[in-house]
Amino acid sequence: MPNRDALKQEPSTGNVFADLGLPSAAEHLIKAGLVVRIDRTIRQRKLTQAAAAELIGIDQPKVSAMLAGQFRGYSVERLMRFLVALGHDVEIVVKPRKRGTAQLRVA
């Protein structure tokens, strides 16, 4: 086992995609947040992936892939439409930043 003192630690930016140096990190974080909400809704409603797929208008293997983290091919708008199809209202709120850098987030 490596010496605990020898492990290098870096503080997170709060965005794992930015920490990994991925392009469009803010967009990936938003998409991930939306997919988490989609997954949570499917579980809370006790839907099968097939039933969820029918509601949101894609096939079951695509639902499975999306929930497994393969959502790069979906736009933020499309993911929001999936949430609407699953019975959620989606609001976009624009407000002045409080301090620091302005950011995108899913609440």
- Identify the CATH number of the domain in which residue 60 sits: 1.10.260.40
Query: What is the chain's alpha carbon radius of gyration, rounded to the nearest angstrom?
Result: 17
68 domain residue, yes or no: yes
C-beta pairs of 102-107 under 8 Å, 24+ apart in sequence: 103/26, 104/26, 104/27, 104/29, 104/30, 105/29, 105/30, 105/33, 106/30, 106/33, 106/34, 106/36, 106/37
The pTM of the full predicted model, rounded to 2 decimals, is 0.82
Based on the structure, what is the number of domains in the chain?
1
pLDDT tens, position by position, 43-91: 999 999 999 999 999 999 999 999 999 999 999 999 999 999 999 999 9
By residue range, what is the domain housing residue 83? Answer: 37-89
